[in-house]
Amino acid sequence: MKRGNEPYYRMLPYRNRSDGSPSWQYDIIWNMPLQKGCAALGGNRIGKSHIGAFISSLIVTGEHPTYKSPKNGIIWMVASESKKIAEVIQPYFESLIPQRYKDGGKYNGKLMRWLLKADDREWEVWYKTVESGRKSFEGAKIDFAWIDEEPKDTGIFSELEMRLIDKQGIWLMTATPVEGTRWLKETIERDDVFYTMAGMRENPYIPLDEIEKISKKLSEDERMVRIEGKYIIFGGRPVFDRRKIEEMQKTACSYQEGLLVC
């Protein structure tokens, strides 16, 4: 098979609808080797999970344009629950891996693990869930971790980073920050983390009129996170009308680089 026919070559990161410039997807791909971790945050339906699976497939095959992955390695792909793995992560990833890697390897459904072998390369790919608990993330030494959505148990993320130390591995997080935790804000502001944010309108494949319909049904906070791709620290779920509270407190707030600053 010619390289241009490989499934991951047919997956092209999209360009911004507004001006045709390279989107945040290109930013994440090219900046991966520069930091310990990368975070792609933003609205719903902007291709976060798809780009996570795409990057993972490039690492397994050794075809990542800026990150040289070893011939033998281990990837953990982490979701909040088993349903998310079955419906999103696993189908995306397996659609992008060349068939010869699957033919030369083996899938263990009980362990939720792929052994992928081809082109003198051999990688273990483990599907893991946050709901399985922190202990299931202990002990191993891994090369790469992809976390799809912000883990509610931040101890699991700490375990992931520990697992990456021995092999000097890196991590990628793709998430819509609906929880609005201070932990995630502090993580993306670390000196060893690259992050980028995007809104739903920048996905050129979603009709703008459909986005506007959805936007009108959401609360202001939800709209800012899910549609605009902004980061809001909730400090727990908002119960009161945020605008009225802000008016009462007479606080001047503004959005700067995707963050609500007061």
Using one digit for the tens of pLDDT, what is the confidence trace for 155-206?
A: 899 999 999 999 999 999 998 877 767 888 889 889 999 988 877 777 777 7
Q: Structural domains in the chain?
A: 3-205 (3.40.50.300)
- For residues 231 and 261, the answer to whether their CB atoms sit within 8 Å is no
* Banded pLDDT at 4 (limits 50, 70, 90): low
Section 27-53 average pLDDT: 85
Residue type at position 250: K
Listed residue (42, 62, 33, 70) closest to 172, CA to CA: 33
CA dist., res. 222 & res. 233, Å (int): 12
The separation between CA 225 and the C-alpha centre of its own chain, rounded to angstroms, equals 15
Tens of pLDDT along 52-92? 999 999 999 999 989 999 999 999 999 989 999 999 999 99
Contacts of 245 (CB under 8 A, 6+ apart): none
Q: Please, are residues 161 and 124 in contact by the beta-carbon 8 Å criterion? A: no
CA distance linking residue 231 with residue 196, whole number of Å: 11
Measured between alpha carbons, how far is 228 from 9 in angstroms, rounded to an integer? 29
CA dihedral 34→203→183→52, nearest 10 degrees, is -50
Tokens, residue 178: 């609906």
pLDDT band at residue 255 under the 50/70/90 scheme? very low
Burial class (CB in 10 A: 0-12, 13-18, 19+), 150: buried
Chain segment 93-114, per-residue pLDDT in tens: 999 999 999 999 999 999 999 9
- The whole-number pLDDT of residue 259 equals 41
Report yes or no: 48 and 40 within 8 Å, Cβ to Cβ. Answer: yes
Residues in contact with 61: Cβ distance below 8 Å, sequence separation at least 6, in sequence order: 6, 8, 97, 98, 101, 119, 121
